[in-house]
């Protein structure tokens, strides 16, 4: 039997960030993870895009604050004897089709409120920055078997929203490793290849966890940062029925293709809701992810037994990207990643306490919360130390933006927000 102040279930980029933040506040932590290394699960499959383009003020502000920490990543870590992940600030473009301008009004209003610079680009300006791009309209997105798939329709991309303060992180798994090393330097411990089989209670409150090899680890605080297994950990804790917002593991494919000749590696990512994909550069390749259009039903899976091979979805995403980039060659051998997202009912995470004293949630984070990881650690540390998330507004100070956010936005009791997809 071992004793700690806090146990963090999960050692992805979120779990490692929580451990570092708690350790810096003098809290003795242990991360336990069923995988062999930090960031080995969902984190390693992240597209690692950093963007403040959200339809809610809190999401926009948190992402913009996190960007400042990515810009000074080595300084934020404070202890980094190994190579560190690199944040590449390229800017990013959101394509706007004629007749859809109203869909982005909330996003632009939030950028204004938070103070994020953005520019409206004309078709001519878009083509200058992204040579070789087609501005034909193809949406709404279709599946391969649907009539007209891959064929242009009436209309055009008539403008773009360019956000300079955006980019991507070169190696998401390395970023998690960096956080682990920094946390260990502060006194945190990590245990890999172990699975939590029981959440222990005494007197109606958390008292620790039991592991699959029989170990009992005692702690008055347990944080569920288990990614795609978060729902199973909640079931072990017996708190699922008390949650207004639930999470499920979604399977996602990301395609890699050799970038076409006109695709500049420093031009920035593109969000293309008309085609149903997003793209970013990656060392001579184009990374292509899904924007989860309505025609693609969620692929909810068992996180311990799912297909980790590419399917027709890989080809669908490749062709959707080729609509926008006519010179994009679709290779015979599929390359990319197949991973899991831990998705909440509205694609917004839960950062909160629970009805079980000592049990906390940092769940529903996959898909769009990698960018926020450097700040989420402090956010969760605030929630854990304040213990007042339900009874009163719990505010977090964002030091770089010189403003506060109300953490009730991430409450387990919130109403489901209006967010369409991973783009939130």
Q: pLDDT, tens digit, for every residue of 266-322?
A: 889 999 999 999 999 998 999 999 999 999 999 999 999 999 999 999 999 999 999
Q: What is the domain count for the chain?
A: 2
Say how far apart CA 228 and CA 303 lie, in whole Å: 6
The confidence score (pLDDT) of residue 423 equals 61
How many other C-beta atoms can be found within 10 angstroms of the C-beta atom of residue 80?
Answer: 17
CA–CA distance, 379 with 314 (Å, rounded to integer): 36
pLDDT for residue 163: 98
Q: Are 132 and 309 in contact (CB under 8 A)?
A: no
Q: What is the distance between the alpha carbons of residues 424 and 408, in angstroms, rounded to a whole number?
A: 17
pLDDT at 174: 98
User: Is the per-residue pLDDT at 72 higher than 90?
Assistant: yes
Say whether pLDDT at 60 is over 70.
yes
| pLDDT above 70: percentage of residues in the chain | 97
Query: Does the structure show a pLDDT above 80 at 420?
Result: no
Provide, rounded to the nearest whole percent, the portion of the chain with pLDDT above 90: 90
Average pLDDT, stretch 157-169?
Answer: 98
Which residue did the predictor score with more confidence, 387 or 282? 282
- Residue 420 falls inside a structural domain: no
Can you tell me the mean pLDDT for 252-262? Answer: 93
Whether 421 has a pLDDT exceeding 70, the answer reads: no
Residue 424 maps to a domain: no
Domain contains 418: no
Domain end: 299, 321, 338, which one?
338
Residues 238, 127, single domain; the answer is: no
**Band of residue 1 on the pLDDT scale cut at 50, 70, 90:** low
Say if residue 191 is in the same domain as residue 177. Answer: yes
Residue 136 has pLDDT above 80, yes or no: yes
Query: What is this structure's pTM?
Result: 0.96
Q: What is the domain-level CATH number for residue 234?
A: 3.50.50.60
- Position 308 scores a pLDDT of 96
Measured over the CA atoms of residue 35, residue 41, residue 43 and residue 47, the dihedral's sign is positive
Give a three-class secondary structure readout of 235-292. Answer: HHHCCHHHCCCCEEEEEEEEEEEECCCCCCCCCCEEEECCCCEEEEEECCEEEEEECC
Burial 205-220 (b: 16+ CB within 10 A, else e): ebbbbebeeeeebebb
Query: ω before 48 within 30° of 0 (cis)?
Result: no
> Are 216 and 273 contained in the same domain?
no
Q: Across the chain, what does the average pLDDT equal?
A: 94
- Residue-wise pLDDT for 185-229, tens only, equals 999 999 999 999 999 999 999 999 999 989 999 999 999 999 999
Residues 8 and 118 in one domain: no
Query: Over 70: is that where the pLDDT of 424 sits?
Result: no
Q: What is the DSSP letter of 214?
A: S
Full residue range of the structural domain in which residue 39 is found? 2-85+170-247+346-410
Q: How confident is the model at residue 263 (pLDDT cuts 50, 70, 90)?
A: confident
* DSSP letter (8 states) at residue 69: H
Q: What is the C-alpha to C-alpha distance for residues 144 and 313, in angstroms, rounded to an integer?
A: 9
């Amino acid at each position: 039997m071992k004793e700690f102040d806090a146990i963090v279930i999960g050692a992805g980029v979120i779990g490692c960030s929580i451990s570092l933040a708690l350790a810096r506040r003098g809290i003795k932590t242990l991360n336990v993870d069923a995988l062999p290394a930090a960031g080995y699960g969902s984190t390693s499959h992240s597209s690692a895009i950093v963007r403040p383009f959200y339809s809610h003020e809190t999401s926009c502000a948190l992402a913009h604050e996190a960007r400042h920490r990515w810009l000074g990543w080595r300084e934020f870590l404070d202890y980094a004897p190994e190579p560190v992940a690199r944040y590449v600030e390229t800017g990013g473009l959101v394509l706007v089709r004629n007749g859809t301008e109203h869909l982005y009004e909330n996003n632009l209003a939030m950028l204004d409120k938070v103070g994020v610079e953005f520019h409206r680009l004309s078709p001519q300006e878009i083509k200058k920055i992204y040579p070789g791009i087609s501005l034909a309209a193809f949406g709404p997105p279709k599946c391969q078997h649907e009539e007209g798939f891959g064929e242009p329709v009436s209309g055009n991309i008539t403008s773009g929203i360019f956000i300079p303060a955006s980019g991507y992180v070169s190696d998401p798994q390395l970023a998690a490793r960096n956080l682990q090393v920094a946390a260990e330097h502060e006194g945190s411990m990590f245990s890999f290849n172990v699975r939590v089989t029981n959440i222990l209670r005494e007197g109606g409150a958390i008292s620790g966890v039991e592991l699959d090899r029989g170990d009992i680890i005692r702690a008055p605080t347990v944080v569920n940062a288990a990614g795609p297994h978060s729902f199973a950990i909640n079931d072990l804790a017996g708190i699922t029925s008390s949650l207004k917002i639930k999470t499920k593991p979604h399977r996602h494919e990301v395609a890699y293709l050799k970038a076409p000749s006109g695709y500049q590696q420093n031009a920035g990512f593109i969000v293309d809701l008309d085609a149903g994909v997003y793209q970013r550069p990656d060392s001579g390749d184009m990374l292509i992810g899904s924007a989860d259009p309505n025609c693609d039903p969620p692929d909810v899976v068992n996180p311990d037994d799912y297909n980790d091979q590419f399917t027709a979805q890989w080809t669908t995403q490749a062709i959707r990207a080729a609509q926008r980039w006519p010179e994009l060659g679709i290779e015979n051998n599929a390359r990319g990643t197949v991973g899991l997202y831990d998705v909440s009912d509205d694609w917004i995470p839960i950062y909160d306490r629970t009805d079980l004293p000592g049990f906390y949630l940092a769940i529903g984070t996959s898909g769009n919360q990698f960018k926020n990881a450097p700040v989420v650690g402090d956010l969760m540390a605030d929630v854990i130390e304040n213990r007042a998330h339900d009874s009163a507004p719990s505010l977090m100070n964002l030091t770089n933006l010189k403003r506060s956010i109300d953490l009730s936005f991430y409450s387990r009791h919130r109403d489901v927000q209006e967010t369409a997809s991973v783009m939130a």
